[in-house]
């Protein structure tokens, strides 16, 4: 198989120390490949957010290490990690996390702003990204005035705009109704297939299985890869 | 040759004109950048990076403009400022003198008299070109409405009239004090004396003084009027003893070092103090700040105001950060480095500083424009120092907010 775009090797996490220590994640191996949608499922408190936080480079694991394009991150400074997140990873959050006062276009342009991209190019690329999620016509709308589904699509555009190879989504459909959630999933699937990116989705929403190429089930801090149940896939379609 | 220099000047004038126009345009651009965003803070938060861009673009243009026109400005200063400065300096050197005064001197008001023979002693000191006495005393001046008020009368002596203000009104000549019973009045006091004109009579302690001239630019912070007279009249008006003087003004020989002459004068007059113009100026300021309540009251007021201002900026910045923890967390998660966030926060802090400075300086100039008689002065150095202080205090005030943002855990973005 191809090289993984992002790989967690033996990553585990213990919060706190000594008597107060909580094991949130047992050491596990996770690999994200381009062109694939990886779904991470599990009940509440099982360790899904912990896992995706580690893969996102915002949480340092207590065991193991994360590799981006095969490069180890053992000795990378926090600014170095920030740069890697900026250039290699796109984020989609349950709460969208758009800047309320900015327009859709301005929100999408943030990662480019952080990269120091020139203004003209910023606008052009942000427009392109908005077109990809069919939000081109609302580019100048204030983000707080958009509906939940529209906001999530803007957030997806923001995650796409910098051409990051990896897209990490935490409960992307949890704040959306069924119909809107379905269309967001379609977009994510299209992104993985058509623009050859690695997409990982954390969720406890069974309907997400419809677009899953691989599945990791997390239970009580134990993450285990399991077969995508064709039946489950068809049922939720 | 003359034709050449003429066309050269024409070309130069055009360049200056162009530079000035550019400057206006840039100023406008910076202003629109500031005004476009409804809330100044939002510039820093990239609410609309269009505004921010406009603003930054304006600043960039300003720097570029300054560089591009460096030659023009250099030329300008060579042609206008340098000769002016040189002329000023020459005049300053010409009448460069030091003062011999009572050892008890703390300021121009807080001084005692010294024996009159010090004038001769000073005149005979090596390096001294001339020495002239100055007396200063208090009397009562009668206003046209009959009210008698305290007046400080300063008596100066021909031929140099050392001690006269350097800012005599146009048309006033020191020679006018040669005749007896003549006085110079502060132009600011004219309304109080029934729109005093040349030739009007003013009574000081029963003696008539005829207004022979005016001086300007003196705005004494003391609760009494100032009059200048010749030394004999001044003695009469203030009952000043014949064998005493208040100051000896000492003119230096060309090339003599002020410090050397000061030292020699002090050696010959050990019971006095010898002050240069600058010493006297500093002593005056010190006296004003330390001995009068003004220094303490204004000083404390300013310090307290500065603290409160700083605290307000600090609290505002900090609470916007707390308010927007999630936003800052998101920015960190999507790859904002420490310096990106620092830039963002500093932009906000400095927007505060800039607005504060502009509002404060604007208010100052508006008030000064509205009340030209108020003794309000500000030097470019002081303006610069105030701008720097505003800049520094806002930077300091942002520290808590900066710390908070830099230590923020980006992992919070995944928490519901
Ligand atoms: N910062 C922390 N400090 C201490 N314990 C933590 C911390 N974050 C998570 N945990 C614990 O780790 C375990 C896994 O939490 P995690 O947030 O990864 O679960 P989750 O699968 O995302 O749950 P949910 O579906 O409710 O979001 C939980 O027991 C939680 O209490
Ligand atoms: Mg979670």
| Domain span including residue A128 | 6-14+22-236
Q: Residue B234 and residue B153: Cα distance in Å, rounded?
A: 6
Q: Please tell me the least confidently modeled range out of A23-27, A167-171, B281-285.
A: B281-285
Give the residue, out of A11, A22, A169, A171, with the most ligand 1 atoms within 8 A of its beta carbon, to mutate for a pocket test.
A22
Residue A119: pLDDT over 80: yes
Instruction: Examine the domain organization and report whether B195 and B331 are in the same domain.
Output: no
- Domain end (from B291, B320, B341): B291
Strands A22-32 and A6-15: antiparallel
Q: Does some domain include residue B374? A: yes
Instruction: Examine the domain organization and report whether B258 and B280 are in the same domain.
Output: yes
Overall number of domains in chain A: 1
Give the residue, out of A46, A201, A220, A221, with the most ligand 1 atoms within 8 A of its beta carbon, to mutate for a pocket test.
A46
Ramachandran angles phi, psi of A84, nearest 5°: -65, -45
Q: Residue A94 and residue B416: Cα distance in Å, rounded?
A: 7
Q: Which residues line ligand 1 (CB under 6 A)?
A: A 15-16, 22, 24, 42, 44-50, 204
Instruction: Examine the domain organization and report whether B262 and B357 are in the same domain.
Output: no
Instruction: Examine the domain organization and report whether B401 and B270 are in the same domain.
Output: no
Overall number of domains in chain B: 3
CA trace torsion B35, B38, B43, B48 (10° rounding): -100
pLDDT of residue B187: 83
Cα B341 to ligand 1 centroid, rounded to whole Å: 28
Q: Does some domain include residue B405? A: yes
Residue with the smallest CA separation from ligand 1 atom 6 is: A15
Q: What is the DSSP code string of A77-95?
A: -HHHHHHHHHHHEEEE-TT
Cα A15 to ligand 1 centroid, rounded to whole Å: 9
Q: Residue B214 and residue B189: Cα distance in Å, rounded?
A: 10
Region B213-242 average pLDDT = 80
pLDDT of residue B94: 42
Q: Residue B364 and residue B351: Cα distance in Å, rounded?
A: 20
Instruction: Examine the domain organization and report whether B413 and B400 are in the same domain.
Output: yes
Q: Relative to the alpha carbon of A218, which ligand is closest?
A: 1
Q: Does some domain include residue B80? A: no
Instruction: Examine the domain organization and report whether B113 and B258 are in the same domain.
Output: yes
Q: Does some domain include residue A177? A: yes
pLDDT of residue A38: 95
- Nearest C-alpha in B relative to A162: B334
The answer for residues whose C-beta is within 8 angstroms of residue B197's C-beta and 6 or more apart is B211
Looking up tokens 């896992």 gives A51
- pTM for the model: 0.62
Q: Does some domain include residue A1? A: no
Strand, coil or helix: what is B149?
strand
Picking from A176, A154, A158, A167, the residue whose alpha carbon sits closest to that of residue A202 is A167
Instruction: Examine the domain organization and report whether B303 and B400 are in the same domain.
Output: yes
Residue B206: pLDDT over 50: yes
Cα B415 to ligand 2 centroid, rounded to whole Å: 7
Q: Residue B416 and residue B414: Cα distance in Å, rounded?
A: 6
Ramachandran angles phi, psi of B157, nearest 5°: -120, 140
Instruction: Examine the domain organization and report whether B101 and B52 are in the same domain.
Output: no
The number of the ligand 1 atom at minimal distance from the alpha carbon of A202 is 22
Q: Does some domain include residue B282? A: yes
- Domain end (from B248, B269, B291): B291
Instruction: Examine the domain organization and report whether B102 and B117 are in the same domain.
Output: yes
| Domain span including residue B302 | 292-416
Bridge partners for B275 per DSSP: B99
- Nearest C-alpha in A relative to B411: A58
Instruction: Examine the domain organization and report whether B261 and B306 are in the same domain.
Output: no
Whether A188 and A213 have beta carbons less than 8 Å apart is answered as no
The nearest CA of chain B is from the CA of A210 a distance in Å of 24
pLDDT of residue A29: 95
Calculate what percentage of chain B has a pLDDT beyond 70.
68
Residue with the smallest CA separation from ligand 1 atom 7 is: A15
- Domain end (from B291, B319, B336): B291
Residues 51-90 of B with CB under 8 A from A: 53
- What is the SS3 string spanning B265-314? HHHHCCCEEEEEHHHHHHHHHHHHHHHCHHHHHHHHHHHHHHHHHHHHHH
Q: Residue B107 and residue B221: Cα distance in Å, rounded?
A: 13
Instruction: Examine the domain organization and report whether B152 and B45 are in the same domain.
Output: no
């Amino acid at each position: 198989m191809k090289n993984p775009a992002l790989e967690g090797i033996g990553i585990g996490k213990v919060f706190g120390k000594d008597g107060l220590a909580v094991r949130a994640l047992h050491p596990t191996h996770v690999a994200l490949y381009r062109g694939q949608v990886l779904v991470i499922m599990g009940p509440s408190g099982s360790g899904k957010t912990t896992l995706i936080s580690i893969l996102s480079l915002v949480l340092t694991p207590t065991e193991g290490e994360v590799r981006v394009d095969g490069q180890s991150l053992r000795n990378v400074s926090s600014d170095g990690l920030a740069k890697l997140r900026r250039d290699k990873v796109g984020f989609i959050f349950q709460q969208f996390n758009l800047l309320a006062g900015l327009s859709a276009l301005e929100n999408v342009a943030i990662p480019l702003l952080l990269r120091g991209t020139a203004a003209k190019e910023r606008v052009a690329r942000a427009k392109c990204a908005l077109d990809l999620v069919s939000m081109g016509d609302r580019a100048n709308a204030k983000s707080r005035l958009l509906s939940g589904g529209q906001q999530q699509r803007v957030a997806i555009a923001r995650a796409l705009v910098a051409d990051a190879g990896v897209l990490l989504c935490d409960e992307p459909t949890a704040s959306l109704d069924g119909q809107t959630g379905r269309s967001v999933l379609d977009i994510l699937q299209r992104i993985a297939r058509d623009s050859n990116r690695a997409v990982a989705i954390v969720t406890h929403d069974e309907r997400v299985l419809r677009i899953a190429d691989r599945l990791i089930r997390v239970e009580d801090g134990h993450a285990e890869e399991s077969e995508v149940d064709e039946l489950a896939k068809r049922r939720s379609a | 040759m003359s034709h050449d220099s003429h066309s050269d000047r024409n070309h130069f004038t055009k360049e200056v004109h162009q530079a000035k126009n550019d400057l206006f345009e840039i100023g406008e651009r910076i202003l629109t950048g500031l005004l476009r965003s409804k809330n100044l803070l939002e510039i820093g938060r990239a609410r609309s990076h269009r505004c921010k861009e406009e603003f930054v673009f304006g600043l960039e243009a300003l720097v570029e403009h300054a560089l591009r026109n460096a030659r023009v400005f250099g030329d300008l200063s060579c042609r206008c400022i340098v000769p002016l400065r040189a002329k000023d300096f020459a005049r300053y050197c010409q009448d460069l003198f030091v003062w011999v005064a009572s050892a008890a001197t703390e300021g121009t008001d807080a001084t005692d008299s010294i024996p009159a023979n010090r004038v001769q002693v000073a005149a005979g000191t090596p390096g001294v070109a001339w020495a002239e006495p100055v007396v200063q005393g208090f009397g009562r001046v009668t206003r046209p409405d009959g009210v008698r008020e305290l007046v400080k009368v300063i008596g100066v002596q021909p031929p140099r009239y050392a001690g006269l203000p350097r800012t005599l009104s146009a048309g006033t000549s020191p020679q006018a004090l040669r005749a007896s019973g003549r006085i110079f009045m502060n132009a600011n006091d004219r309304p109080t004396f029934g729109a005093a004109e040349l030739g009007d009579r003013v009574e000081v302690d029963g003696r008539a003084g005829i207004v022979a001239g005016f001086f300007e630019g003196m705005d004494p912070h003391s609760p009494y009027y100032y009059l200048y007279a010749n030394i004999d009249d001044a003695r009469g008006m203030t009952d000043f003893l014949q064998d005493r003087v208040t100051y000896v003004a000492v003119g230096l020989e060309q090339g003599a070092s002020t410090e050397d002459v000061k030292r020699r004068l002090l050696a010959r007059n050990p019971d006095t103090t010898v002050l240069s113009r600058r010493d006297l100026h500093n002593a005056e300021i010190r006296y004003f700040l330390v001995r009068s309540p003004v220094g303490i009251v204004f000083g404390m007021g300013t310090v307290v105001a500065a603290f409160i201002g700083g605290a307000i900026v600090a609290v505002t910045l900090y609470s916007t950060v707390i308010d927007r923890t999630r936003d800052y967390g998101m920015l960190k998660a999507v790859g904002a480095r420490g310096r990106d966030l620092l830039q963002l926060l500093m932009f906000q802090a400095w927007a505060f500083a800039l607005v504060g400075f502009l509002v404060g300086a604007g208010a100052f100039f508006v008030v000064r424009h509205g009340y030209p008689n108020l003794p309000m002065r500000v030097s470019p150095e002081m303006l610069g120092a105030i701008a720097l202080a505003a800049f520094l205090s806002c930077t300091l005030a942002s520290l808590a907010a900066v710390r908070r943002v830099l230590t923020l855990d980006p992992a919070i973005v995944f928490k519901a």
